[in-house]
Amino acid sequence: MTTTRPCPSFEPELSPIALQLYTVRNQFARDPAATLERVREIGYRAVETYPFPADVSTSATAELFKRLELQVVAMHCELPTERGLTRILETAAAFNCKRTIWHGWPKSREFDSLEGLRALAARYNQAHALAREHGLELGLHNHWWEFELTMQGVYPYKIFHELLHPEIFFEIDTYWVQTAGRNPVFVLHELAGRVKLLHIKDGPAIHGAPMRALGQGALDFPSILRAIATPVDLVVELDECATDIFAAIDQSLKYARGLTRERG
């Protein structure tokens, strides 16, 4: 039987807890309206988007967000380049959102060497300059490989923290940090000031094992939230879930609200 850990209170007030819509991607692909209505009924007042299927209308989705009063806290998208900028700008305008986040998938071969990491940092800085020129912000979302040692004995996230423009923010996926063997609390202290969003999800923190609702896994969220140095947005996400997905996001929202002053 799964035991849910108690929810000690957390003092700093945070903005509304968001749901990364990738969590309900299968349901969303079948019926966007019904899915978003269910998300809103559960109590979410904010969402984070992912690159939607080609047959999902951006404008129609924007209207759903407006009707359901769902704030878009950030958009996961491709890295801004001249070639793909028009679509990113149109989506940002439709969703009334200036935060663009490179989702970081799949792993680039450039993570295999120090030279590659430096090249990636330069590319991210170029993308930031382009985004900023058009009134957008750029953030980076991690997986586990940013927190694993390279062949040269360095952690990619430390290289990025050193070389990236200070305006490039991080969306730290706490689950993948722990899965890589790093302590999310220590990482948040290291990156103080650069973190603007946290992906929060729970489970065994083992590759290949499905995730669970917050409070039902290995992550110590009270300690993680106490390590936050500056205001952040919390984003619930479950890539794969061991239980009913809507029950899991409902339980996760209730647990997260027990840690914060956000009350829906």
**Per-residue model confidence as pLDDT tens for the chain (264 residues):** 444 444 333 344 457 999 999 999 999 999 999 999 999 999 999 999 999 999 999 999 999 999 999 999 999 999 999 999 999 999 999 999 999 999 999 999 999 999 999 999 999 999 999 999 999 999 999 999 999 999 889 999 999 999 999 999 999 999 999 999 999 999 999 998 999 999 999 999 999 999 999 999 999 999 999 999 889 999 999 999 989 999 999 999 999 999 986 534
Total residue count of the chain as it appears in this document: 264
DSSP 241: B
SS3 226: helix
Burial of 86 (0-12, 13-18, 19+ CB in 10 A): exposed
Please give the domain boundaries of the chain with CATH numbers for all domains: 18-259 (3.20.20.150)
DSSP state, 139? E
Distance CA 46, CA 53 (A): 20
How many CB atoms lie under 10 A from the CB of residue 82?
A: 8
Res 230: pLDDT: 87
Is residue 10 within 8 Å of residue 262, measured between CB atoms?
no
pLDDT, residue 1, reads: 41
Taking Cα atoms as reference points, which of 70, 71, 2, 84 lies closest to residue 37? 70
